[in-house]
């Protein structure tokens, strides 16, 4: 009896195709759904990764970032990322931008639209100023690690 069952099991295994396509086709609808969702999520994730890589390449090639700001800005990660990549910024002192950009060190913090335009034109035309700001951005903005930010935050509270 056991020999018959063993020979039948071996016979079934030898006739069964274990390719990925056949395993998928024989799977239950729930398993198929999960596989399709995982595959779609993976493709979507890789699309986001490739878009971020293209964005960083564009930012690195950028000459400067001009951002007038928003009153609700509490940290301004976009300016922090631009400066960490060596892109000087021209901003207005709205929200946290006045603190994020070090005036005349990593960019310029201007008071009104006329100063904004003047600073932008000056930065685009003057290679020495741009190089100075760029080098300072790379030197100063890449040092922000969680330990340093936590110490800065604790110093503010004390």
Residue pointed to by tokens 């779609």: 40
Helix (H, G, I), strand (E, B) or coil at 106: coil
- In the prediction, which pLDDT does 8 show? 57
Mean pLDDT confidence for 56-85:
84
Which residue, 123, 70, 133, 135, is CA-closest to 101? 133
Question: Which tens digits make up the pLDDT trace of 138-157?
Answer: 998 767 677 887 888 788 88
- In the prediction, which pLDDT does 56 show? 77
- In the prediction, which pLDDT does 49 show? 93
Question: Which tens digits make up the pLDDT trace of 18-51?
Answer: 888 999 999 999 999 999 999 999 999 999 999 9
Residue 44, Cβ neighbours under 10 Å: how many? 10
Residue 83 pLDDT more than 80?
yes
- In the prediction, which pLDDT does 1 show? 56
Question: Which residues, 6+ apart, have CB-to-CB distance to 4 below 8 Å?
Answer: none
Dist. CA 28–CA 101, nearest whole Å: 57
Q: Where are the domains of the chain?
A: 2-57, 64-157
Beta strands in the chain (DSSP E): 65-67, 89-91, 107-109
- In the prediction, which pLDDT does 7 show? 56
- In the prediction, which pLDDT does 3 show? 58
Residue 6 pLDDT more than 60?
no
CATH numeric code, 64-157: 3.40.50.2000
Whether residue 60 contacts residue 86, with contact meaning beta carbons closer than 8 Å, is answered with yes
Average pLDDT, the chain: 86
């Amino acid at each position: 009896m056991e020999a018959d069952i063993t020979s039948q099991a071996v016979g079934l295994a030898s006739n069964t195709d274990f390719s990925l396509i056949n395993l998928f086709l024989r799977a239950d609808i729930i398993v198929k759904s999960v596989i399709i969702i995982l595959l779609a999520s993976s493709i979507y994730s890789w699309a986001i990764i490739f878009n971020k890589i293209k964005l960083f390449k564009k930012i690195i090639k950028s000459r400067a970032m001009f951002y007038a700001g928003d009153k609700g800005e509490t940290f301004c990660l976009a300016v922090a990322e631009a400066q960490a990549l060596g892109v000087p910024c021209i901003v207005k002192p709205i929200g946290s931008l006045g603190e994020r950009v070090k005036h005349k060190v990593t960019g310029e913090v201007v008071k009104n639209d006329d100063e904004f335009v003047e600073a932008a034109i000056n930065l685009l035309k003057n290679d020495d100023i741009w190089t100075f700001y760029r080098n300072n951005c790379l030197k100063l903005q890449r040092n922000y690690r969680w330990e340093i930010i936590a110490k800065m935050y604790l110093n503010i509270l004390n």
